[in-house]
Structure formats: structure tokens, C-alpha cells
Chains A and B, each alone.
Chain A
Amino acid sequence: MKHVRTYWAILRGSMITGLVYRFGFIFTILGNVVYLFVAYFLWHSIYRNSTTLHGLTFNEAFIYVALGSTVFILLKTYAEWSISREINDGKIAVYLTKPLDYQLYWLANNLGFTVTNLVAITVPTVLLLIFVFKVSIPLGPGLLFFPLSLVMAFLISFNIDYAVGLAAFYTESTWGLSMTKEIIVTVLSGALLPLQFFPDAIQKVLLWLPFQTIYYTPLTMIAKPDQGWGVFISMIGVQFAWTVASFVLTRLFYVQAIKVLRVSGG
């Protein structure tokens, strides 16, 4: 119980820090609104000659892409930049002397930012989608799984960022690693395009990779929720397996990486 209190304090702290930059929210929302319009026009012209593409209607594809951008803002916490900066300038030493788990510390910290963003950015965007773009979200079992799926997507995405951050123990090139990770995750996860659009062979490979569980899984649940329960249960199962795997792998990586740490002065 004491631990929960510790990490809760960290989470609350980062939520409050997030609120310091209230002015920034306006621009993030504005950026997202512009993106929604661009996506709307783009997908409108993609669907100019067809009512369904790969089993998706315009409405479904647009919900997918539009919510994809807001989920993107939620999951993009820039954790790997902060973690690698702490490792490179030696600030990590301060945490090692405290009774804290480094991974959980960052997880709580990130969750705080994500909750702030959920309230400040995602909620207005969803309202905008419903009232300005007049999208209709169909009802179905998928919607029930969506919240749980989003939480697991957050955990997997965080663990990938955390692993990239830890790579700073070995190299100073944070920019290159983060960018490469960023691109791999956004393209292969179906954040920009629903996976159905990829050629069959590529699709099969992508379904075996962890990245699709970050965007494709939760977004399918909300864009096409009217499918059988079995579909969603197996999706959640795969996502759960990757969540566990990502925790195990990052903890093993940390144990290895911490051995090479040398902090000289500070």
C-alpha cells in the first residue's frame, strides 16, 4: 500500500506539471483539429470512387484515422528523451539512491501526462468529431473492450520508449534511435493507415509484431466495434501477452544495462 502512495504522488506531480503549460494545449488541440480536417479531405478523396475499401467504409476509416491521431498524442510522452537525458548527464544516480523502481517511477510520471492529455485534448477532439464532423460511432462489443485495450496499448508503447531510453547507457545518439523507433512504431502499428490497406503478405508479418497492438487493436475496437465477441477476446489476449512480454524484456534489459553505468561527479 505504501508503494501505491509513492507512485500516486509522482503521478499527481506530473499531472500538475502538465497543467503549467495550459497555453500549449490550445496549440496542440489546434494542431489536431487541422490534422482532422486534412485527414477528412484526404480520406474523402481516397473514397471518391468506392464506398468500401478492404471492408472499411469511409465512416469507419475516418473514425480510425481521426482517433488514431488523438491516441497518438496520448501515447507520445517523449519519455525516451527524458530518460536518455537523465542517463547521459548522470542524473539517474539520484534515483538509484532512492527506494524507487526506475521503470515504475517513469511509468507513473508518464501516466500523469497522459491523464492530463486525455482530459485536455482527447475529450475535446472526440466532441469535435461527433458534433462538427458528425461521425457516427456504431455500437458493439468492441466499445466495451476499448478502455482496457487503450491501457495495455499505453503500457506496451511506454515499455518500447523505456527500452529506447535505456539504450542511452550504450550510445549518446538519442535522436537517431528515437526517430527510428518512432517511424517503425507509427508505420508498422497502423497508426497512419488501417492494417487492412497493407498488401496481404505484409499484413501477415505485421500481425505477428507487437506494434499493431498499440494502434490497430484499440482503434479497430472503436472504428469497427460491431464484430463478434470472439474477435475482440482474441485481440485482447494477444495484447495482454505482449504487455507481459514487454515488461519482462525491459526488466531484463535494465538489469543488463545498469551494469555499464559510470557516473563521474555530477
Chain B
Amino acid sequence: MQTLLRYFRLYFLIEAQYIKARMQYRADFIISSIGMFFTSLATLAVFWVLFQSIPNLAGWNFMEMVFIYAFYMIAISPMQILFDQVWWLRYDVQLGTFLKYYFRPLNMMFYYLSERFDLKGLTQLALGVVLLIYASIKLGIHWGPLNVLLLLAVLFGASLVLISIVTIASCSAFWITNSFPVLNLAWKLREFSPYPMSIFDGAFRFVFTFLLPIGFIAFFPAQLFLRPQEVSPLIYFTPLVGIGLFALTYWIWMLGVNQYTGTGS
């Protein structure tokens, strides 16, 4: 408990310094936030155009897709805001700058990831929350305290699922150095998570549920609030899926860190 509190305090201190440093570049923050805003809305715009031609997608109407997409935007925000540093791992591994983390009296994964706090991700989070509320009103979803708790729990799990998939992809840098193609693949997969899983055939549904569980990032957990009666009870275990995957991620990270010997540059 003591250690946890210490790490919590440290994280706060590190990020406060980081944000102060970033605030020197105010224009960058504004332009990046605008970029984030458009990026977040682009998929929604494509959905909107598509729904001009079809009444529903595998039985899901436009507003339900907005709800699922809003859930998705919130679920991917912790990855964007807190874990953005994983995109730099391949450079640090290649240039050898990663070695300095071996000499700090802190958990390496913690210290490495705390190097960056992505402010523009907050735009995505805010937009997701606004859209979720909007879609809930339009769909007449009732939010009791129990439902809100369930939402927070499954969002926590869904975020961890994405964080784990992307971080594992990033860790491949310890073995193959340039992990960009692997990372890019993981990043692309994430975009398929809001689609109704019923459009896929059996093999793909199996992969997206059990092997690369992107279904847990958005569609499955969002279903709990749209059509709870159609959901397999398994989906209630989303938080456990997330925690389990994150434990696996940590194990792979440690494995990579322990065998990494530098690239000699």
C-alpha cells in the first residue's frame, strides 16, 4: 500500500512537470487538439454517410452505432493519454537511450510510461463522454447507479484490453528493433472493434473474441447497455479479461527488458 501511494505521488509529480513543459508550445496543443477532434469524428462521419443508404447494419441502427462508437472513444482514451510513450519504445531501444531506465530505483515499466502524458487525448475523452450522453438520451437509456458502476467497470476492462494489445505489439521492439509494422497492425485492429461482431463469420468472430480480443474494446461491453438481454453473461467479465491481459503484458515486458542487450549504437 505504501509503495502504491508513493508511485501515485510520483506519477502526479512527473506529469505535472511534463505538462508545464508542454505548455510552452500552446499552439501545438491547440492544433493537436483540433486534429484529434477531426480524427475522432471521421469514422462517425463515415457511419453517417453509410446509414444514408442502409436502414441498419446487421440489425443495429445509426444511433446505436453512435453509442457504441462513443463507448469506443472513451475506452481508447486511457491508451492515448497514459500509454502514448509505447510509440517511442522502438526509437529508445534502437538508439540505446532505453538503457538509462535500468539504473533508476523505480519500476521500469512505470517509469518509462510516465515519460509522456498526452494532453490531446483529453479531447477524445471529452467528445466520447458528450456523444455517450447524447446517444443515451436519444435511445432512452436509463442510467441508474448500478448501471453507471457497471459502465465504469467495463470501461476499465476495455481500456486495459486495448492497452495490453498495443503494449505487447510495442514490446516486440526488444526482439525485432523496428516494431512499427507490428504496432501499426495492432493500432489498425482497434478500429474494427466498434463493428457489430455478428457481421463476421465464425472464424473471425472467434479470433476477435478469444485470440485478439478486440471485441472487448467496444462492441461486446457496449451491448450490455443497448441490448442486455442478448448478451452472453461472459461479457460481464470484461474487467477480468482486461486485468488478465495486462498481467500477461507485464510479463512479456519483463521478458523483453531482461533479454535486451542494446543494439551497439
Contact = CB atoms under 8 A, between A and B. Distances in A.
Contacts of B27: 171-173
Given A27-B184, A28-B181, A31-B188, A179 B199 contact: no
B54 A46 contact: yes
Interface stretch (B30-38, B144-152, B245-253): B30-38
Contacts of A21: 178, 181
Interface stretch (B41-49, B67-75, B234-242): B41-49
Interface string A169-184: 0011101111110111
A198 interface: yes
A176 B50 contact: no
A35 B33 CA distance: 28
A30 B189 CA distance: 11
Contact of A53 (B53, B201, B204): B53
A42 B46 CA distance: 13
Contact of A27 (B46, B120, B185): B185
Most A CB atoms within 10 A — which of B58, B120, B185, B192?
B185
A46 B184 contact: no
Nearest to B195: A42
Interface in A181-227: 182-184, 186-187, 192-193, 197-199
Nearest to A181: B35
A77 B189 CA distance: 20
A35 B188 contact: yes
B35 A177 contact: yes
B46 A176 contact: no
B39 A179 contact: yes
A123 interface: no
Contacts of B185: 27-28, 30-31, 34
B28 A172 contact: yes
B120 to A, nearest CB: 8
B57 A45 contact: yes
Contacts of B42: 183, 186-187
B227 to A, nearest CB: 17
Contacts of A262: none
A234 to B, nearest CB: 25
B122 interface: no
B182 interface: yes
A45 B199 contact: yes
A156 to B, nearest CB: 20
B50 to A, nearest CB: 7
B34 A46 contact: no
Contacts of A98: none
B204 A37 contact: yes
B167 to A, nearest CB: 16
Given A171-B27, A173-B27, A187-B42, 10 more contacts: A24-B180, A28-B184, A31-B184, A45-B196, A49-B54, A175-B32, A183-B35, A183-B42, A187-B46, A193-B50
Among all A-B residue pairs, the 10 with the closest Cβ atoms: A176-B31, A179-B35, A27-B181, A24-B181, A176-B35, A176-B32, A173-B28, A173-B31, A31-B185, A45-B199
14 contacts: A21-B178, A31-B188, A34-B189, A37-B204, A41-B199, A41-B204, A44-B199, A45-B199, A46-B53, A171-B28, A179-B35, A179-B36, A179-B38, A183-B38
